[in-house]
Amino acid sequence: MAYLDSLFRVSRPWRTRALFVIGCCLNLSSSTHAGQQYGVTQSEWHGYERLDFVVAGQPAILIVPHESAPSRPWVWRAEWFGDRHGPQVSLALLAEGWHLAYINASDRYGSPEAMRIFDAFYDHLITACTLDPRVVIEGFSRGGLYAVNFAANHPDRVAALYLDAPALDLRSWPGYDTPRWPAVVAHYGLTLEAADTAKFSPIHRLQPLLDADIPIIGVAGDADPVVPYDENLAVLKSIYEAGGGTIKVILKPGVGHHPHSLADPTPIVDFIRDHTTDLESRLPK
């Protein structure tokens, strides 16, 4: 029997859960394809329920904890969902009752177009899914572009950032002297000439994060040839410390761009937990 149908035949808590699933994951285009019910495809990820659906025309994923923490907290993987790019922190938070979310806005380099997709996804998750209005964003590699730009646009929506080997300066990654550069410039609505002097990278947009005191934990290898630490996370650290921001950086000696995260994610999870305790205080009375 189909999973969602079976939920209505069991106890009230599970019927409530079914209504959450249906309400949260209805395909916003109102289309239902083979293998889907209620606009959502259900499967399993590391023993947790995985829901695949569509928002703003883009494939989206929500991983549901076995039992949600009271404030319905969530962590948002800005890029590179899956096992290859260090899921340790996501899994640890899932075990504590956090939801895990992802939407595919790839190859838009954190641009305004990508942010419109992110805005639609955020709005859907906090309204239809009733997740907490403030999210922790994981910015892995190029996901750093998305994470910081979203936080700069909406500092009131972000509880903390976890940046892992993050690209933060577009001139560093993908690089102004690479074949990707014309596409990057076009996504940001600039000409190649204007891009020579324009400061349009996320690394130039840190003041809103400082003003909102958004805590940041960063992890990187000091031998990263793809997204050099000295040109990205080290610059953010310097600016954030000078501005009085809350930041902790864990540097991995001799490590390149991979592997991401830490074998034992406890220091990262502890930082996130310590800096998001106010989520519980904002529960409806």
Q: Is residue 285 part of a domain?
A: no
Q: Rounded to whole angstroms, how far apart are CA atoms 268 and 250?
A: 9
Q: Is residue 237 part of a domain?
A: yes
More confident residue, 129 or 20: 129
Beta strands 58-64 and 99-103: pairing type?
antiparallel
Q: Rounded to whole angstroms, how far apart are CA atoms 126 and 123?
A: 6
The CATH code of the domain that includes 241 is 3.40.50.1820
Q: Is residue 22 part of a domain?
A: no
How confident is residue 75, by pLDDT bands cut at 50, 70 and 90? very high
Among 39-43, 132-136, 281-285, the minimum mean pLDDT is found in 281-285
Q: Is residue 226 part of a domain?
A: yes
Confidence at residue 72, expressed as pLDDT on a 0 to 100 scale: 96
Q: Is the pTM of this model over 0.85?
A: yes
Mean pLDDT to the nearest integer, 227-241? 98
What total number of domains does the chain contain?
1
Q: What integer best gives the mean pLDDT of the chain?
A: 88
Percentage of the chain beyond pLDDT 70 is 84
Q: Is residue 17 part of a domain?
A: no
How confident is residue 84, by pLDDT bands cut at 50, 70 and 90? confident
Residues in the chain, how many? 285
Q: Is residue 1 part of a domain?
A: no
Q: Is the pLDDT of residue 254 over 80?
A: yes
Q: Is residue 18 part of a domain?
A: no
pLDDT tens, position by position, 121-174: 999 999 999 999 999 999 999 999 999 999 999 999 999 999 999 999 999 999
Domain limits for position 55: 27-278
Q: Is residue 9 part of a domain?
A: no
Residue that the structure tokens 């592997």 belong to: 259
